[in-house]
Structure 1
Amino acid sequence: MLDSGAQATIAELAEREGTASSSMTRILRLSRPAPGIVEAILDGRQGPQVTLARVLEPFPTEWGLQRESVTHRS
């Protein structure tokens, strides 16, 4: 909806969905993980450090930094 222009901002999208902007930001972060991280999750090889709570924390947008973050934190 942000891409199509139906909602211009995260705040508008959050209001439409009946949630807080901060929650919407955390949820939108889940749409941008590195392909290797997505594949590992789908294959069940993600490791115990990759949890929903963990990926809802501030998470790098750059894929290389995401991979480092996932492999270097426990």
Structure 2
Amino acid sequence: MSKSGGGSVAVENRSGAKMTVYCAGVDRKERSVPAGGRVFVEDLGVRASAGSPLFCGVVTSDSTASWNVTALGGRA
């Protein structure tokens, strides 16, 4: 997922599965996404490196897990 402009990007855990969001740019950080909850990518505090994008992904060991990645105009 990538982000440009002034919105927010959120990962929402739509299942009860354990999952983690990872983002890498200048550094790499991760955060658990609670069941039924969401994590905002900017809360991880990872910055893109000069000339390179910010890469993020979702990791889970549950093959039935489901999630949404949403670009929002702002936070509710």
Q: TM-score, normalised by structure 2?
A: 0.22
Q: TM-score, normalised by structure 1?
A: 0.22
Q: Which has the higher contact order (CA 8 A, sep 6+)?
A: 2
Which structure: greater strand fraction?
2
Q: Which has the larger radius of gyration?
A: 1
Which structure: greater helix fraction?
1
